[in-house]
Amino acid sequence: MARSLAQSGLAARVRSLSVWTRDKAKAAARELEQAMAEIQEDGLSSADQPSLAGEDSTRSDPEPLWTQNRCETETDEADAEARNRPFYELVRGSMAEAIETNGPDTFERWLRQFHSERDDEWFANNRTRVYNAFRPHWDEVVAKGATDK
How far apart are the C-alpha atoms of 99 and 106, rounded to whole Å?
7
> Is 61 contained in some domain?
no
Chain-centroid distance of CA 34 in Å reads 24
Establish if 129 belongs to a structural domain.
yes
pLDDT tier at 34, thresholds 50, 70, 90: confident
Q: Is 27 contained in some domain?
A: no
Number of domains in the chain: 1
User: Is residue 11 assigned to a domain?
Assistant: yes
Amino acid at 24: K
Residue 52 within a domain: no
**Span 47-82, pLDDT tens digits:** 455 544 444 445 555 565 555 555 566 678 888 888
Q: Which range of residues forms the domain containing residue 92?
A: 1-21+71-149
In a domain, 40, yes or no: no
55 inside domain = no
Task: Please state whether 103 falls in left (phi above 0), alpha (psi between -120 and 50) or beta.
Answer: left
82 found inside a domain: yes
141 versus 17: the higher-pLDDT residue is 141
pLDDT tens track for 99-147? 999 998 999 999 999 999 999 999 999 999 999 999 999 999 999 886 7
Greater model confidence, 46 or 42: 42
